Amino acid sequence: MTTLLLHLSDVDEAGWARRYADALPGVRVLRQTDSFDPVTVDYIFVWKPKANAFDGLTNLKAVLSLGAGVDALLKHPSLPADRPVVRFVDADLTQRMTDYVTSQVTFHQRLGTRFKRDQAARSWKQLYPPASSETSVGVMGLGELGTDAVHKLKVLGFTVLGWSRSPKSIEGIETFSGDALDTFLGRTDILVCLLPLTPETTGILNYELFGRLRRKLDGGPVIVNAARGGHQVETDIVRALGDGTLGAASLDVFQTEPLPADSPLWGLDNAYLTPHIAAISNIDAGVSYFSRIIRDHEAGKPLPNVVDRGRGY
C-alpha cells in the first residue's frame, strides 16, 4: 500500500490529513504523531519540518513541499540528497500573490504616501498622480508568480519590465537578465521582488541597489517585497526611507518573523507592513494538486515542478 506521511508545523495537520484520506482512498495517510515504520513511507508532505522529519525514510520516493518557496527546506540538514523535491504550483496561490502585488503597485502609483501625509496634516493639495502608462514597474523574478504578475500589471496599463537571473522570453514584456540589472533598475519606478531566495539573491534589496532605481515618481522610487525576508537588508530600507532614496516600501516578509516590536519599520509612515499574508497555500487546492501528483507518479508518470537543487528553486 502507498503511504503518505504528513509532517506539518504551524498549520492544521489533522485537517490536511482528513482531506488527504478522502482524496486518496487506498493510500495510507499518516501524521507525524502516529506509530509507523519509517521504511514504509513513500511520500512525505512537509511544511517547516522538524529536525527528525526525514529520519529512517530510506524508501522515500519524493518530498512534497506545501510552500512555493523551498529555500528553508533545502537547508534542512537531513533532507535526503537523492530524492526529488516537488514544490507547490497553484493557480489560486498565484492569483493571491498577484492580487497583493497589483494592489500595492496601484497604491503607490496613485501616490498613496503623499496623500496619507496630507490627510494627517489636514492639507488639501490637488496633486494629480501619473497615468499607469507613465509608471514603470520592474518585476524581479519571472517564475510562475512573476510571470502572472507582469501580465496582470500590463493589463492595468503599466509599463512593465522583468528581470531574472537567466534569460526569459515573455510575450509583450521587455525582459532583462544577469548583468543587465543596472539597465533594468534605471528604468524602474516601482520595484517588485518575487525572486527565489538563493545565495545569489540574499540581501539583494540593499541601499546600493535602491540608489540605482529611476527617480521619476513623486516622492521617490518604491519597493514591494512579497518573496522572502532574506532578500532585504532592513537597516538599509530604514535608511533609504528616511533619507529619500526610497519614497515608500510595501513589505510582506521580514528577516525575522514575527517582526520584532522594536523594529524601526513599524514607526515609518512610508512603510506598509503586512504579516506574511500576501499568498497562502489553500487546503483545497493543495490536496487536489498533490493527490493528483501521487496518483500519477504511482501510475508511472514523471513528477512535475521538481526543484533544481543546484539553482535553489
Structure confidence by residue, pLDDT tens digits, 86-100: 999 999 999 999 999
Q: Which residues pair with 140 in a beta bridge?
A: 163, 193
Confidence category of residue 69, pLDDT binned at 50, 70, 90: confident
Question: Distance between CA 59 and CA 43 in Å, rounded?
Answer: 9
**pTM for the complete prediction?**
0.92
For residues 250 and 277, the answer to whether their CB atoms sit within 8 Å is: no
Percent of the chain residues topping a pLDDT of 70: 100
Residue pLDDT, tens place only, 205-229: 999 999 999 999 999 999 999 999 9
Angle, in degrees to the nearest 10, between helices 91-109 and 112-120: 60
Angle, in degrees to the nearest 10, between helices 283-298 and 91-109: 140
Q: Can you give the three-state secondary structure of the chain, one letter per residue?
A: CCEEEEEECCCCHHHHHHHHHHHCCCCEEEECCCCCCHHHCCEEEEECCCCCCCCCCCCCCEEEECCCCCHHHHCCCCCCCCCCEECCCCHHHHHHHHHHHHHHHHHHHCCHHHHHHHHHCCCCCCCCCCCHHHCEEEEECCCHHHHHHHHHHHHCCCEEEEEECCCCCECCEEEEEHHHHHHHHHCCCEEEECCCCCCCCCCCECHHHHCCCCCCCCCCCEEEECCCHHHECHHHHHHHHHHCCCCEEEECCCCCCCCCCCCHHHHCCCEEECCCCCCCCCHHHHHHHHHHHHHHHHCCCCCCCECCCCCCC
Residue of higher predicted confidence among 256 and 68: 256
Residue entry with cell 482524496? 23
Percent of the chain residues topping a pLDDT of 90: 96
| Average pLDDT of span 14-34 | 97
pLDDT at 285 over 90: yes
How confident is the model at residue 281, as a pLDDT? Answer: 84
Q: Which residues pair with 141 in a beta bridge?
A: none
Distances (CA, A) of 185 to 87, 148, 220, 241, 267: 29, 20, 13, 18, 28
Residue pLDDT, tens place only, 101-136: 999 999 999 999 999 999 999 999 999 999 999 999
Residue entry with cell 545569489? 200
For residues 46 and 70, the answer to whether their CB atoms sit within 8 Å is: no
How confident is the model at residue 68, as a pLDDT? Answer: 83
Question: Distance between CA 223 and CA 104 in Å, rounded?
Answer: 10
Residue pLDDT, tens place only, 152-200: 999 999 999 999 999 999 999 999 999 999 999 999 999 999 999 999 9
Query: Under 8 Å CB-to-CB from 142, ≥6 apart: which residues?
Result: 150, 162, 163, 164, 168, 170, 175
Q: Catalytic residue numbers?
A: 228, 276
Kindly report the average pLDDT of the chain as a whole number. 97
pLDDT at 67 over 90: no
Amino acid sitting at position 292? R
Question: Distance between CA 73 and CA 88 in Å, rounded?
Answer: 13
